[in-house]
Amino acid sequence: MTHTTDSSTIIEKTIQHDEYSTKYLQSGVGPTIVLLHGSGPGVSGRANWAATMTSKLAQHFTLIAPDIVGYGGTQQQPSIDFTHANRVEHVASFLDALDLAPARLVGNSMGGGIALGIAAHYPELVEQMVLMGSAGVTFPVSREVDQLYGYTPSEENMRGIFELMAYDKSHVTPELVKARYEATLAPGVAEQWSNLFPAPRQRHIDDASLPFTTLEKIATPTLLIHGVADRVVPVTATSLKLVEVLPNADLVVLGRCGHWAQVERAEAFRSEVARFFSAQG
């Protein structure tokens, strides 16, 4: 299946590897960047990254966006638990299967925590990484995180989730809310979401975090991007700590931006990604 725009074509693919059947999207030309989506009800590689994959970035890079295990169209063996460690293993296996290592990774929120996990445990798989509104260090579960993890299907609840993400609420359109809400009505999606982050929820934040003694050994060149008004993963909770402990990291803080940099500050986000990977390359 393809989705054509003026700037690129998104191609849907599936690859069998280890215990997974991973659905992923591909667009663009040039050096490869792997886009790792965040968490949320109805989230997938397409939901997080379709606009990025059809932007000018695709004129300079090949963009690949997998559905991470537990999300979207990726299938896994029933014996696989939906833990952060298994998400790290899934993406590491995916990189190996497509022979992408050492890879350029862009991780959004949960995807950032996964990228950090791969860089910590499989450093040979990662060349550079961009972490956007990233998980990776523990912080107390907030009302916003609890609302996100506790989502039950309704358009009102989905609108509430998006309004947590956005600084500028004009980005939360009725069409967007309806489309993502309807994605959570697909067979098994709501049940699977409820199984991903059951209460007590602090443990899920902790499980996706690395101790500073591990983080300080990650030598991978890293760019941190964070919205100054992020209420879901506040910049003070993660990125300001990560930029201090990661030995080869810089931080860009975007004004007028919440937990949705690739949407609210799309041009700035894409420009920073292109600049970073072009300079590193």
Neighbouring-strand partners of residue 63:
27, 33
Q: Is 259 a catalytic residue?
A: yes
* Annotated catalytic residue within 8, 67, 134, 230: 230
Cβ(257)–Cβ(231) under 8 Å? no
At a CB cut-off of 8 Å and minimum separation 6, what does 256 contact?
A: 167, 168, 228, 229, 264, 265
Q: How far is CA 256 from CA 167, 226, 227, 228, 229, in A?
A: 6, 11, 7, 7, 7
At a CB cut-off of 8 Å and minimum separation 6, what does 120 contact?
A: 210, 214, 215, 217, 218
Least Cα distance to 206 among 136, 134, 132 occurs for 136
Q: Is 142 a catalytic residue?
A: no
Cβ(202)–Cβ(211) under 8 Å? no
Task: Please tell me the distance from the alpha carbon of residue 194 to that of residue 192, in angstroms, as a whole number.
Answer: 5
Least Cα distance to 132 among 165, 95, 159, 170 occurs for 165
Cβ(128)–Cβ(277) under 8 Å? yes
* Annotated catalytic residue within 44, 55, 109, 209: 109
Least Cα distance to 148 among 91, 231, 86, 68 occurs for 231
Exposed / middle / buried, residue 213 (Cβ in 10 Å: 0-12, 13-18, 19+): exposed
Catalytic residues: 109, 230, 259
